[in-house]
Amino acid sequence: MRIPFNRPCKIEHELGAFVRFLDENRLSGDGEATRRCHEWFRTHIGAQSPLLTTSCTSALDMAAILCGVEPGDEVILPSYTFVSTANAFALRGASLVFVDIRPDTMNIDEQLIEAAMTDKTRCIVPVHYAGVACGMDAIIQIARNREIPVVEDAAQGMLARYKGRPLGLIGDLGTYSFHDTKNYTMGEGGVLFVNNPEYTCRAEIIREKGTDRSRFLRGEVDKYSWVDLGSSFLPSELNAAFLLPQLERAEAINSNRLATWEQYYRRLGKLADDGRIELPFVPDECSHNAHMFYFKCHDCAERTGLIRSLAERDIQACSHYVPLHSSPAGKRFGRFYGEDRYTTRESERLVRLPLWYGLREEAVDEVCDRVEAFYSAD
């Protein structure tokens, strides 16, 4: 496509970082590049215990183990999310309880969570869609009343905030993704934030294949051994080396994406005012990170026509998640609580436009021109 939906973030410093850290003669994980990434998260995000992982999926897998999820447990989550959110807990034997979303933010409806809970509920997993926060005050209060943990799937949420607090640092555990579709990338990668000190020591062990190797490397034990469940969740130094230069320029990348988002929002404002489309909503207590720009069409047929019309001009737009509760695995491993008022309906209306670091203003104008032309033709 002439204007693709996504281009992975590259700032032309990654190759130099590769060479620099190759000279360290260490390619396996937890070397100098990883250490510096961890330090960046501590300094710039305020994370107490960040742990780089091979993916956000891996970080969620770790979270499920840390929460002690077992067969027979139930986990509350939205159906409108990526499969990794569900897989992490289904793999531990949990039954998934899908809760309807709010139509304004596409996030889990915090007002429906408590009624969906039973005495089997083991944890709540809110997903911050498009880098816009869920209603975290209510979610945290519900969890505290039940004495269960909250795992934030903030895959899309780096540098976004809720009432001034970084997403991923509000619940007991939080995750970011550094997949090449995200604002910052290491190809495949993620990070787990351990915000509850009760999980800190075990998280380090789980990440290191269930061993206390990290303690050995710090000189706290004279040998290391297998002490718990775990897997190889830490990424190589090459992945961390690719990510580090982007972290060091994170604010500039964020500002560039926000400018693109605002340009879309301004340009498409008249269509929204005329009732032809519905623009994204960001609550006052939230500051987003321009992870994506989407709007909502009247219905699925209109969206399909729009995507096809843009493709004819070599502009790649796309839909997003198919609700998990309607999938074969979703039906097998979970159930939808209550009425599906919004999840399916809103998912079928949503279209995502191209947005990536370095997207030219002229390209955004061209996309908007074509969207306006589509709606003026009917």
CATH 3.90.1150.10 domain locations along the chain: 250-376
Please report the pLDDT score of residue 220 as a whole number: 84
**60 in Cβ contact with 116 (< 8 Å):** no
Among candidates 257, 241, 259, which has minimal Cα distance to 185? 241
**337 in Cβ contact with 97 (< 8 Å):** yes
> Could you give the CA distance from residue 16 to residue 289 in angstroms, rounded to a whole number?
27
Fold (CATH) for 14-248: Aspartate Aminotransferase; domain 2 (3.40.640)
Residues near 183 by beta carbon (within 8 Å), at least 6 away in sequence? 9, 131, 158, 159, 253, 254, 257, 289, 290, 291, 357
**135 in Cβ contact with 167 (< 8 Å):** no
What proportions of the chain, in percent to the nearest 5, are helix, strand and coil?
A: 40, 15, 45
Please report the pLDDT score of residue 215 as a whole number: 81
Q: Establish how many alpha carbons lie within 13 A of residue 285's alpha carbon, considering only the half-sphere containing its beta carbon.
A: 10
| Identity of the residue numbered 91 | L
Q: What is the dihedral of CA 300, 306, 312, 316, to 10 degrees?
A: -80
Per the DSSP assignment, residues forming a β-bridge with 334 are 96
What is the residue-level pLDDT of the chain in tens, covering all 378 positions? Answer: 899 999 999 887 777 777 777 777 677 888 889 999 999 999 999 999 999 999 999 999 999 999 999 999 999 999 999 999 999 999 999 999 999 999 999 999 999 999 999 999 999 999 999 999 999 999 999 999 999 999 999 999 999 999 999 999 999 999 999 999 999 999 999 999 999 999 999 999 999 999 988 887 787 888 889 999 999 999 999 999 999 999 999 999 999 999 999 999 999 999 999 999 999 999 999 999 999 999 999 999 999 999 999 999 999 999 999 999 999 999 999 999 999 999 999 999 999 999 999 999 999 999 999 999 999 986
> Is the domain 250-376 a CATH 3.90.1150.10 member?
yes
CATH 3.40.640.10 domain locations along the chain: 14-248
| Pairing mode, strands 74-78 and 50-53 | unpaired
> Could you give the CA distance from residue 176 to residue 186 in angstroms, rounded to a whole number?
12
Regarding pTM above 0.85, the answer is yes
User: Per residue, what are the HEC states of 43-77?
Assistant: HHHCCCCEEEECCHHHHHHHHHHHCCCCCCCEEEE
Among candidates 124, 121, 127, 158, which has minimal Cα distance to 141? 124
Positive or negative CA dihedral for 246, 280, 157, 5? negative
Q: From edge to edge, which strands make up the β-sheet containing 95-99? A: 121-124, 74-78, 95-99, 334-336
- Cα–Cα distance list, 130 to 133, 134, 154, 221, 352 (Å): 9, 11, 9, 43, 10
- The pLDDT tens digits for 310-358 are 999 999 999 999 999 999 999 999 999 999 999 999 999 999 999 999 9
